[in-house]
């Protein structure tokens, strides 16, 4: 990609005003969110002229790419790249950027909050008070379970997994075991080195009190937590998913909850989002369900937008963006 003057940029998700102004100062910008009924036509009308896209949470398909013959770069306001046809982007020579790093700590906060909320039954007991049922000291039927000292098993030890491990091991004295495609170098573990250990996946399922998925969505990880996996977990285990909904076989999860194979589940992601109203997960008494809020704080969402805009501006100048996604490994 070579630098030039003003390019045609299509923004398909809202940006903070100052970040939109950064783009507009350098390029010709069209803002059209295809998820909004009144903007869908404008989005598709702009595709044939678009040289760059920036946004998130909308699937970019091969058919869509066919409608954008001049497209040179996509900047996703996300870490995950599930919505992009990576092999097609590589074949077409279209650069892809994302926003790793800026949401690590915030997402780890959310996941640890889910861990706490499920084990101590916080949403359930808050509703107990709000509904006026708290008339005397609660009995054992409403007790929760300790978090400190329990073993956390992390599936996928990337940036967010490491941030979660720090919270668990250094903050709550929790032994941490993990499974990953490879062991994490001791230099990356730092102060965690004496608190975490690599184990095979089957051992993690057997030993962990909390099984936390931090895996990407790939054909290999789809329904990795299935009926066989739930059957291997210890009675009283709690499952947390803060990565991608496809990792869990939701029918098998419901069966495991209903038959007391596992104690509870904390879910920030689902196979279908938004979660359908008819889904049993929405009202299940053993499930804490959140609307995919891992990075949803004012500070972090702004930082993601800022990085995404910076990525795109760099790409259009012919430079390598800080958040360039390596398509050569696809």
Whole-angstrom Cα distance, residue 14 to residue 35? Answer: 11
3-state secondary structure of 327: helix
Whole-angstrom Cα distance, residue 88 to residue 91? Answer: 5
Q: Which of 195, 223, 292, 301 is catalytic?
A: 292
* DSSP at 171: I
Give the angle 180-181-187 at the CA atoms, nearest 5°. 70
Active site residue 292: yes
Q: Which of 273, 299, 317, 320 is catalytic?
A: 273
* Alpha-helix runs per DSSP H in the chain: 17-26, 40-46, 62-66, 86-92, 104-120, 122-130, 159-166, 172, 186-189, 201-207, 227-232, 250-258, 298-316
Query: Within a 10 A sphere around the Cβ of 168, how many other Cβ atoms?
Result: 28
Q: Which of 244, 250, 263, 306 is catalytic?
A: 244
Is there a contact between 42 and 21 (Cβ–Cβ < 8 Å)? no
Catalytic annotation, residues? 244, 273, 292
């Amino acid at each position: 990609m070579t630098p030039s003057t003003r390019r045609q940029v299509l923004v398909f998700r809202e940006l903070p005003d100052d970040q939109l102004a950064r783009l507009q100062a350098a390029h010709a910008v069209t803002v059209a969110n295809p998820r909004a009924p009144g903007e869908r036509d404008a989005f598709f009308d702009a595709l044939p002229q678009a040289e760059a896209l920036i946004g998130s949470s909308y699937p970019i398909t091969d058919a869509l790419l066919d409608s954008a013959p001049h497209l040179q770069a996509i900047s996703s306001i996300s870490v995950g790249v599930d919505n992009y046809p990576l092999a097609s982007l590589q074949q077409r020579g279209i650069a892809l950027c994302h926003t790793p790093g800026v949401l690590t700590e915030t997402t780890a906060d959310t996941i640890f909050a889910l861990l706490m909320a499920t084990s101590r039954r916080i949403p359930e007991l808050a509703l107990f008070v709000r509904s006026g049922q708290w008339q005397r000291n609660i009995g054992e039927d409403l007790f929760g379970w300790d978090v400190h000292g329990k073993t956390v098993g992390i599936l996928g030890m990337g940036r967010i997994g490491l941030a979660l491990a720090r919270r668990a091991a250094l903050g709550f004295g929790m032994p941490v075991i993990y499974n990953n495609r490879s062991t994490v170098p001791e230099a990356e573990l730092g102060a965690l080195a004496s608190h975490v250990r690599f184990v095979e996946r089957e051992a993690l399922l057997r030993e962990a009190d909390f099984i936390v998925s931090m895996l990407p969505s790939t054909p290999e990880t789809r329904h990795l937590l299935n009926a066989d996996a739930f059957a291997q977990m210890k009675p009283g285990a709690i499952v947390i998913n803060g990565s991608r909904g496809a990792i869990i076989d939701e029918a098998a999860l419901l069966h495991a909850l209903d038959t007391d194979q596992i104690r509870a589940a904390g879910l920030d992601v689902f196979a279908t989002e938004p979660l359908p109203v008819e889904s049993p997960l929405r009202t299940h008494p053993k499930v804490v369900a959140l609307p995919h809020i891992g990075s949803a704080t004012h500070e972090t969402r702004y930082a993601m937008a800022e990085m995404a805009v910076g990525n795109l501006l760099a790409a259009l100048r012919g430079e390598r963006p800080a958040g360039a996604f390596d398509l050569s490994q696809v």
